[in-house]
Amino acid sequence: MDALPEGWSAYQDDQGRTYYANPSTGETSWDPPAPVAPALPDGWTAHQDPSTGKTFYANCTTGESSWEPPTAPAAPAAPAPEKPGRWSVDFTYTIGPEGSEHIFSGKVQLLDKSVHSSVSLVVDSLNSGALAVPEGYCVVYSNSKKNYFLLWREEKETEVFALLGLGGSDQWSTSQVLRLDPAWTEDVFAGRCDVVDKVRYDSVTAAVEALNAGIVYEGQRGFCAVWSASQHCFHLVWRQDKEQEAYVALGLA
Protein backbone atom coordinates (compact mmCIF):
# COMPACT_ATOMS: atom_id res chain seq x y z
CA MET A 1 0.00 0.00 0.00
CA ASP A 2 1.21 3.51 -0.82
CA ALA A 3 2.30 5.64 2.08
CA LEU A 4 -0.50 7.60 3.68
CA PRO A 5 -0.67 11.37 3.25
CA GLU A 6 0.82 13.44 6.02
CA GLY A 7 -1.40 13.52 9.15
CA TRP A 8 -3.28 10.27 8.32
CA SER A 9 -2.85 6.99 10.20
CA ALA A 10 -4.42 3.51 10.03
CA TYR A 11 -6.43 2.18 13.01
CA GLN A 12 -8.37 -1.01 13.95
CA ASP A 13 -11.92 -0.87 15.29
CA ASP A 14 -13.26 -3.34 17.91
CA GLN A 15 -14.24 -5.73 15.12
CA GLY A 16 -10.74 -5.73 13.62
CA ARG A 17 -11.63 -3.62 10.65
CA THR A 18 -9.09 -1.08 9.37
CA TYR A 19 -10.07 2.52 9.07
CA TYR A 20 -8.14 5.72 8.52
CA ALA A 21 -8.23 8.93 10.46
CA ASN A 22 -6.57 12.35 10.49
CA PRO A 23 -6.65 13.60 14.12
CA SER A 24 -5.62 17.11 13.14
CA THR A 25 -8.63 17.60 10.83
CA GLY A 26 -11.09 15.10 12.41
CA GLU A 27 -11.56 13.27 9.10
CA THR A 28 -12.09 9.48 9.00
CA SER A 29 -12.45 7.04 6.13
CA TRP A 30 -12.87 3.28 5.55
CA ASP A 31 -10.88 3.69 2.33
CA PRO A 32 -7.23 4.65 2.27
CA PRO A 33 -6.95 8.38 1.59
CA ALA A 34 -5.44 9.18 -1.76
CA PRO A 35 -1.81 10.24 -1.50
CA VAL A 36 -1.14 13.89 -2.18
CA ALA A 37 0.40 14.22 -5.60
CA PRO A 38 3.92 15.57 -5.32
CA ALA A 39 4.73 18.86 -6.99
CA LEU A 40 6.50 17.90 -10.19
CA PRO A 41 9.24 19.81 -11.97
CA ASP A 42 8.41 21.50 -15.26
CA GLY A 43 7.84 18.98 -18.08
CA TRP A 44 6.94 16.01 -15.81
CA THR A 45 3.45 14.47 -15.49
CA ALA A 46 1.98 11.56 -13.48
CA HIS A 47 0.46 8.48 -15.16
CA GLN A 48 -1.14 5.15 -14.11
CA ASP A 49 0.38 1.89 -15.27
CA PRO A 50 -2.64 -0.02 -16.70
CA SER A 51 -1.29 -3.45 -15.74
CA THR A 52 -0.34 -2.72 -12.13
CA GLY A 53 -2.25 0.45 -11.30
CA LYS A 54 0.96 1.97 -9.96
CA THR A 55 1.77 5.61 -10.60
CA PHE A 56 4.77 6.45 -12.73
CA TYR A 57 6.17 9.74 -13.96
CA ALA A 58 7.25 10.76 -17.42
CA ASN A 59 8.85 13.73 -19.14
CA CYS A 60 7.63 13.81 -22.72
CA THR A 61 10.21 16.44 -23.68
CA THR A 62 13.26 14.41 -22.63
CA GLY A 63 11.80 10.87 -22.85
CA GLU A 64 12.68 10.16 -19.22
CA SER A 65 10.42 8.07 -16.96
CA SER A 66 10.56 7.06 -13.32
CA TRP A 67 8.57 5.11 -10.71
CA GLU A 68 9.76 7.62 -8.12
CA PRO A 69 8.54 11.22 -8.14
CA PRO A 70 11.21 13.38 -9.79
CA THR A 71 12.62 16.24 -7.76
CA ALA A 72 13.22 19.74 -9.00
CA PRO A 73 16.87 20.65 -9.53
CA ALA A 74 18.39 22.56 -6.66
CA ALA A 75 18.31 26.29 -7.06
CA PRO A 76 21.73 27.77 -7.79
CA ALA A 77 23.48 29.11 -4.73
CA ALA A 78 23.21 32.84 -4.27
CA PRO A 79 26.46 34.59 -5.14
CA ALA A 80 28.53 35.58 -2.16
CA PRO A 81 28.25 39.28 -1.37
CA GLU A 82 31.12 41.33 -2.68
CA LYS A 83 33.74 42.14 -0.09
CA PRO A 84 34.04 45.89 0.42
CA GLY A 85 37.24 47.44 -0.88
CA ARG A 86 40.04 48.65 1.34
CA TRP A 87 40.81 52.10 2.67
CA SER A 88 44.29 53.54 2.27
CA VAL A 89 46.24 56.71 2.93
CA ASP A 90 46.77 56.66 -0.84
CA PHE A 91 43.03 57.17 -1.31
CA THR A 92 42.92 60.70 0.10
CA TYR A 93 42.38 64.14 -1.33
CA THR A 94 43.40 67.42 0.30
CA ILE A 95 40.29 69.61 0.43
CA GLY A 96 41.83 72.59 2.21
CA PRO A 97 42.12 74.37 5.55
CA GLU A 98 39.35 75.60 7.82
CA GLY A 99 37.05 77.78 5.76
CA SER A 100 36.71 75.23 2.96
CA GLU A 101 33.83 73.37 4.62
CA HIS A 102 31.46 74.52 1.87
CA ILE A 103 33.11 72.02 -0.49
CA PHE A 104 31.76 68.98 1.41
CA SER A 105 29.13 70.28 3.86
CA GLY A 106 25.80 68.51 3.38
CA LYS A 107 27.34 66.07 0.90
CA VAL A 108 29.98 64.03 2.72
CA GLN A 109 30.14 63.14 6.42
CA LEU A 110 32.74 64.96 8.50
CA LEU A 111 34.08 62.71 11.25
CA ASP A 112 34.09 64.12 14.78
CA LYS A 113 37.18 66.35 15.03
CA SER A 114 37.57 65.70 18.75
CA VAL A 115 37.82 61.93 18.18
CA HIS A 116 39.27 61.51 14.68
CA SER A 117 42.12 63.90 13.88
CA SER A 118 44.62 61.65 12.11
CA VAL A 119 44.14 60.34 8.57
CA SER A 120 46.34 57.27 9.08
CA LEU A 121 44.60 56.28 12.33
CA VAL A 122 41.19 56.69 10.72
CA VAL A 123 42.27 54.49 7.81
CA ASP A 124 43.43 51.79 10.25
CA SER A 125 40.13 51.94 12.14
CA LEU A 126 38.11 51.71 8.93
CA ASN A 127 40.04 48.68 7.68
CA SER A 128 39.78 46.89 11.04
CA GLY A 129 36.03 47.52 11.30
CA ALA A 130 36.39 49.56 14.50
CA LEU A 131 34.95 52.51 12.60
CA ALA A 132 32.10 52.15 10.09
CA VAL A 133 31.35 54.54 7.25
CA PRO A 134 28.70 52.75 5.13
CA GLU A 135 28.78 55.38 2.37
CA GLY A 136 32.39 54.46 1.59
CA TYR A 137 33.74 58.01 1.91
CA CYS A 138 34.14 60.69 4.58
CA VAL A 139 36.10 63.81 5.52
CA VAL A 140 38.73 64.01 8.28
CA TYR A 141 40.31 67.14 9.71
CA SER A 142 44.01 66.58 10.34
CA ASN A 143 45.31 68.49 13.36
CA SER A 144 48.91 68.01 12.24
CA LYS A 145 48.42 69.37 8.71
CA LYS A 146 45.60 71.81 9.51
CA ASN A 147 43.67 70.60 6.47
CA TYR A 148 40.50 68.71 5.66
CA PHE A 149 41.09 65.43 3.82
CA LEU A 150 38.63 63.43 1.77
CA LEU A 151 38.95 59.65 2.28
CA TRP A 152 37.30 56.95 0.21
CA ARG A 153 37.17 53.18 -0.18
CA GLU A 154 39.00 52.07 -3.30
CA GLU A 155 35.83 51.44 -5.34
CA LYS A 156 34.24 54.77 -4.36
CA GLU A 157 36.65 57.30 -5.89
CA THR A 158 34.64 58.06 -9.03
CA GLU A 159 31.40 58.37 -7.05
CA VAL A 160 32.65 60.78 -4.41
CA PHE A 161 34.67 62.91 -6.82
CA ALA A 162 31.56 63.33 -8.96
CA LEU A 163 29.50 64.12 -5.84
CA LEU A 164 31.87 66.94 -4.85
CA GLY A 165 32.67 68.04 -8.39
CA LEU A 166 36.37 67.31 -7.99
CA GLY A 167 38.87 66.16 -10.57
CA GLY A 168 40.68 62.82 -10.42
CA SER A 169 44.08 62.13 -8.92
CA ASP A 170 45.80 63.50 -12.02
CA GLN A 171 44.23 66.94 -11.57
CA TRP A 172 45.65 70.11 -10.10
CA SER A 173 43.57 72.04 -7.59
CA THR A 174 43.73 75.27 -5.58
CA SER A 175 43.08 73.05 -2.55
CA GLN A 176 46.40 71.24 -3.15
CA VAL A 177 48.59 74.19 -2.23
CA LEU A 178 51.03 75.09 0.53
CA ARG A 179 51.99 78.72 1.20
CA LEU A 180 55.78 78.95 1.55
CA ASP A 181 57.94 81.25 3.64
CA PRO A 182 58.07 84.72 2.03
CA ALA A 183 61.85 84.60 2.45
CA TRP A 184 62.08 81.77 -0.11
CA THR A 185 63.44 82.95 -3.45
CA GLU A 186 63.72 81.17 -6.78
CA ASP A 187 67.23 80.04 -5.83
CA VAL A 188 65.77 77.81 -3.10
CA PHE A 189 63.97 75.70 -5.72
CA ALA A 190 66.98 75.20 -8.02
CA GLY A 191 67.37 71.50 -8.86
CA ARG A 192 64.55 70.53 -6.55
CA CYS A 193 61.35 72.01 -7.95
CA ASP A 194 60.35 73.82 -11.15
CA VAL A 195 59.07 77.38 -10.89
CA VAL A 196 56.15 78.52 -13.06
CA ASP A 197 56.84 81.67 -15.08
CA LYS A 198 55.86 84.39 -12.59
CA VAL A 199 55.37 86.99 -15.31
CA ARG A 200 52.72 84.99 -17.18
CA TYR A 201 51.13 83.41 -14.11
CA ASP A 202 51.22 85.53 -10.97
CA SER A 203 48.44 83.78 -9.05
CA VAL A 204 47.81 80.24 -7.89
CA THR A 205 44.39 80.12 -9.59
CA ALA A 206 45.78 81.14 -12.99
CA ALA A 207 48.65 78.65 -12.71
CA VAL A 208 46.34 75.77 -11.69
CA GLU A 209 44.06 76.45 -14.66
CA ALA A 210 47.05 76.43 -17.01
CA LEU A 211 48.45 73.26 -15.46
CA ASN A 212 45.13 71.42 -15.92
CA ALA A 213 45.02 72.66 -19.50
CA GLY A 214 48.49 71.19 -20.07
CA ILE A 215 50.05 74.42 -21.28
CA VAL A 216 52.59 74.81 -18.46
CA TYR A 217 55.74 72.77 -18.90
CA GLU A 218 56.82 73.22 -15.29
CA GLY A 219 54.17 70.74 -14.16
CA GLN A 220 55.95 67.72 -15.63
CA ARG A 221 57.11 66.47 -12.22
CA GLY A 222 53.61 66.69 -10.77
CA PHE A 223 54.54 69.58 -8.47
CA CYS A 224 55.96 73.08 -8.89
CA ALA A 225 56.32 76.49 -7.25
CA VAL A 226 53.92 79.31 -8.15
CA TRP A 227 54.34 83.00 -7.35
CA SER A 228 51.40 84.85 -5.84
CA ALA A 229 51.62 88.57 -6.51
CA SER A 230 48.80 89.28 -4.07
CA GLN A 231 50.53 87.50 -1.18
CA HIS A 232 54.12 88.28 -2.22
CA CYS A 233 55.36 84.75 -1.77
CA PHE A 234 55.70 81.40 -3.51
CA HIS A 235 53.28 78.52 -3.09
CA LEU A 236 53.98 74.85 -3.56
CA VAL A 237 51.35 73.30 -5.84
CA TRP A 238 51.02 69.59 -6.49
CA ARG A 239 48.92 67.03 -8.28
CA GLN A 240 46.90 64.84 -5.92
CA ASP A 241 49.17 61.84 -6.45
CA LYS A 242 52.38 63.84 -5.91
CA GLU A 243 51.90 65.52 -2.54
CA GLN A 244 54.34 63.37 -0.60
CA GLU A 245 56.96 63.58 -3.35
CA ALA A 246 56.63 67.38 -3.42
CA TYR A 247 57.15 67.67 0.34
CA VAL A 248 60.22 65.42 0.23
CA ALA A 249 61.75 67.33 -2.69
CA LEU A 250 61.66 70.58 -0.70
CA GLY A 251 62.55 69.00 2.63
CA LEU A 252 59.21 69.89 4.19
CA ALA A 253 57.65 68.07 7.13
C-alpha of 251 from chain center: 37
Q: Where are the alpha helices (DSSP H) in 49-168?
A: 119-128, 157-164
The answer to whether the CB of 60 falls within 8 A of the CB of 43 is: yes
pTM of the prediction?
A: 0.42
What is the phi/psi pair of residue 209, to 5°?
-60, -40
**Residue of 225 and 70 predicted with greater confidence:** 225
Q: pLDDT for 78-106, tens place per residue?
A: 666 556 688 988 888 878 788 889 889 99
pLDDT mean over 21-26: 83
Provide the pLDDT confidence category of residue 137 given band limits of 50, 70 and 90. Answer: very high
